[in-house]
Amino acid sequence: MTKGVQFMLLSTFFFAFMNVCVKFLAHLPPMEVVLFRSMISLVLSYAMIRRAGVAPWGNRRLILVGRGLAGGFSLLLFYTTLQNIPLAGAVTIQYLAPIFTALLGVFIAKEKVTPWQWVFFVVSFAGVLVIEGVDTRISWYYLGIGIGSAFLTAMAYTSVRKLSETEHPLVIVFYFPLVSLPLSAVFCLFTWVPLRGTDWVWLVLTGILTQLGQYFMTRSYQVEKLARVAHLNYIGILYALGLGFVFFNETFHVYSYLGIALVLLGVVLNMFYSRRLQRQEARQATA
C-alpha cells in the first residue's frame, strides 16, 4: 500500500468520524456547529500558512470569497441533513456533488458531456429516488436540502478548479473558514443555543477531525497521482453505514442499500469514464 493510499484512507476515516460528531450535536443549530468548526479551522489554517511562508490573501479574492460562501452554505445544509436523517443517507446524497460538478462544467467551462455520462447521471439520481422512496426517515424536504448541499459543494469544487491556476492550496483552504466564520456568527446572533454537557468535546473534535481530513487528503494528492486515490473517497459510504449502525443503531431496508449502490455506481462510472476521455484527448493532442 503506497503512502498516497494510506493518506487518503486516513482522510476518509477522519471525515467519517467528523460526521458522527456533528450528529451528536443534533440539538444545536447547524450554523452554530459551522461557527465553531470555522473558528478552529481558521486558527489551524493560518498557522499552516505562516509555517509555509505563503501570503494569505491570494490574487483572485472575489472568486476566493465566492468559494468560501458556497462552501459555508453547503456545510450548513449538509450538517442539517446529518442531524435529521440517517448518517449513510446524508453522506450518499452528498456524493452527488461530482455529478453536479460535471454539469456545471458544461455551462461554466463549456465542457462536453457525452451520452454515456448522461446515463451515469440518471443512474445516480435514480438511486437517490430509490432511497427516498423506501426510507420514510428521509422526507422530500431533507432530500431537497441534501441535493442543495451537493450542488453548492459542486460550485465550490468548480471554483477551486479555477483558483488552482493562480492560488496556493493553503490559501484556498484558508478562505473557507475566513468567509464562513463571520457568516455563521451573524446567523448565530438570532439562533444561539447554549452549550451543554459534552458539546464542547464534540465541537472541538469536529474542527480537529476536519482539519486532519483536509491535511491527509492534501498530502495524498501531493504524493500520488489523482487517478490512483480519488476513488478512495467513496469508502466514506462504508464508514457511514458502519458508524451509523454502531453509534446510532441505524439500519436500512434492503432497497435502500440498492439505492446507495446506484448512487455510487453512477458516480464511480462517470469518474472512470471521464479519465478515459482525458487520456484519449491527451493522446490525440500529442499525435
Grid cell at residue 123: 443512474
Q: What is the pLDDT along the chain (287 residues), one digit of tens a residue?
A: 678 778 888 988 998 999 999 999 999 999 999 999 999 989 988 998 999 888 888 888 898 999 889 988 999 999 999 999 999 899 889 888 877 877 777 676 566 777 887 888 888 888 888 887 888 888 889 999 999 999 998 888 778 777 777 888 888 888 889 999 999 999 999 989 999 889 999 999 998 998 888 778 767 766 766 556 666 777 888 888 899 999 999 988 888 889 888 888 887 887 777 778 777 877 877 76
User: What's the predicted TM-score (pTM) here?
Assistant: 0.84
Number of domains in the chain: 1
168 is in which domain, residue-wise?
3-286
